[in-house]
Amino acid sequence: MLVISKREVERRVLNITSEMARRNLDALYLVSAANIAYVTNFFHIPTERPIAAVVLSSGEKILIVPRLELEHAEKYSYADRVLSYDEYPDEKHPMLVIADYLRGLGLEGKRIGFDVDGYAHIYGYRGPRLSEVLKASYSYERDLIENMRLVKSEEEIRLLRESAKWASLAHRLLQEYTRPGLYEDEVSLRASMDATMAMARALKGIYRPAGWASGARAGFRGQVGKHSYYPHSLTIHAIIKKGDVLVTGATALVSGYGAELERTMIVGEPSEEQRRFFKLMLEARRIALESIKPGVKCSDVDRNVRRFFKEKDLMKYWRHHTGHGIGLEYHEAPFFDIGDNRTLEEGMVMTVEPGIYVENLGGFRHSDTIVVTKDGFEFITHYPEELEDLIIPA
């Protein structure tokens, strides 16, 4: 089965309660969807309705959900207990109900750690903090679980490798379907649909779709032609033309875990300028990859790449750090950034994606997902990287 096992969650909770004891916590209150999934394997669509997980010092895992999620949580989560409230905002605000539940668990006056004090203000939610409705001693403990999520288990890496297979298929179809004269939308939707249906048929019943997204997807997200200059563009319904630089992205969520695969493609014979910047991007990528091994600071990987940019007088084309952690969230700690001095450890999963962005020409960025090994790293994503393999016939 391509799902996180109960045994894996039990291992996590054992580590969590051990750290809670070290920090003198009686309970850990979690609102982050990724943290909730980490401790209960429950995936949900975050809305204005608060959802929280509570880990007691005994190791008991409790989910508190709105009524509409009750049966869903009871069937699919690994929580020991599922409690519910009626609705938001309702006659009695959900945070007041949650406070009552925590009193019933004997937590009033105790020491409670949290990742969010109450609930995040999303989808129009408004409400009191937990610390305003329940008398207790509180401490901000976001790093407690985040630190544990930095290093991936064998089960997590297995799901990420499976994700990478379907991301690669989606991207292969994207490349195959891309032709001048087509809207970026029709290419993206066709590739994503075909890859998702192949994934659904192959994995039906042995993995769990999670959150808003399901299946595999690949696309351009507006990074077409000169508009690929914007690293985080939004779709512009561009029509693909000969001479365009195309920056792509592909992923596939497998039981909540998604790898990242990105490539730069060019429509028709590349110009000398396009070839130059593509080659420089590959060189920056090589420097980043050669820097990765256990014991190296994340900041030093990014520092080496930025040094290359400075030496080649490319800083005017620089826009972002070299990469980021990935797993339950598409961007998560640690970061290949000069401001992140955490040390790489075996089992960390990262993206590597230094980019070059040239106004009136386009963006040049590959992204691969890698796992740090005892000797260096291994690719999780696999896809051609050389320019000649990424030229679209015009």
89, 115, 149 - which closes a domain: 149
Give the H/E segment covering residue 230: none
Is 99 a domain residue? yes
Listed in sequence order, the residues at least 6 apart from 283 whose beta carbon sits closer than 8 Å to its beta carbon are 308
Tally of structural domains, the chain: 2
The domain boundary, picked from 117, 149, 181, lies at 149
CB 261 within 8 A of CB 164: yes
CATH classification at residue 215 = 3.90.230.10
Same domain, 373 and 254: yes
- The enclosing domain of 31 has a CATH number of 3.40.350.10
Measured between alpha carbons, how far is residue 277 from residues 50, 245, 355 in Å? 47, 11, 10
Kindly state whether residues 67 and 114 are assigned to the same domain.
yes
Are 112 and 136 in contact by the 8 Å Cβ rule? The answer is yes
Q: Are residues 247 and 300 in the same domain?
A: yes
Assigned domain for 1 exists: no
Q: Comparing C-alpha atoms, which of 158, 152, 151 is closest to residue 2?
A: 158
* C-alpha–C-alpha distance, residues 322 and 324, integer Å: 7
What is the bridge-based pairing of β-strands 27-30 and 349-352?
A: unpaired
DSSP string, 316-385: GG--S-SEEE-SSSSSEEEEESTT--PBP-TTBEEEE--EEEETTTEEEE-BEEEEE-SSSEEESS----
Instruction: Write the DSSP assignment of 101-144 as a string of letters.
Output: HHHHTT-TTSEEEESSSS----TT-----HHHHS-SEEEE-HHH
Q: Identify which of 32, 112, 10, 123 has the alpha carbon closest to the alpha carbon of residue 327.
A: 32
- 126 and 179 co-located in one domain: no
Give yes or no: residues 179 and 125 share one domain.
no
Residue 162 lies in a domain: yes
Query: Which residues form the domain of 45?
Result: 6-149
H helix intervals, the chain = 6-22, 33-40, 70-76, 94-104, 130-133, 142-149, 154-177, 184-203, 272-290, 298-311
Cα–Cα distance, 373 to 158 (Å, whole number): 14
HSE, CB side, 13 Å, CA atoms: give it for residue 312.
17
Looking at the structure, tell me whether residues 88 and 160 fall in a common domain: no
Same domain, 208 and 131: no
Do 295 and 311 lie in a common domain? yes
**CB under 8 Å to 22, separation ≥6 — which residues?**
none
Statement to judge: residues 229 and 277 lie in one domain: yes
Residues 194 and 266 in one domain: yes
Is residue 334 included in any domain, yes or no? yes
Contact 159, 203 (CB under 8 A): no
> How far apart, in whole angstroms, are the C-alpha atoms of residue 258 and residue 170?
13
Q: Which of residues 149, 178, 213 is at a domain's end?
A: 149
234 is written with which tokens?
A: 């939004």
Nearest Cα neighbor of 183 from 136, 131, 235 is 235
In a domain? residue 116: yes
**Residue 226 and residue 366 in one domain:** yes
pLDDT tens over the chain, length 394 residues: 999 999 999 999 999 999 999 999 999 999 999 999 999 999 999 999 999 999 999 999 999 999 999 999 999 999 999 999 999 999 999 999 999 999 999 999 999 999 999 999 999 999 999 999 999 999 999 999 999 999 999 999 999 999 999 999 999 999 999 999 999 999 999 999 999 999 999 999 999 888 667 799 999 999 999 999 999 999 999 999 999 999 999 999 999 999 999 999 999 999 999 999 999 999 999 999 999 999 999 999 999 999 999 999 999 999 999 999 999 999 999 999 999 999 999 999 999 999 999 999 999 999 999 999 999 999 999 999 999 999 999 9
- 296 falls within a domain: yes
* Residue 172 shares a structural domain with residue 317: yes
Residue 292 lies in a domain: yes
Amino acid at 9: V
Q: Which residue has the tokens 């030496």?
A: 311
Task: Tell me whether residue 18 is in a domain.
Answer: yes
Its pTM stands at 0.97
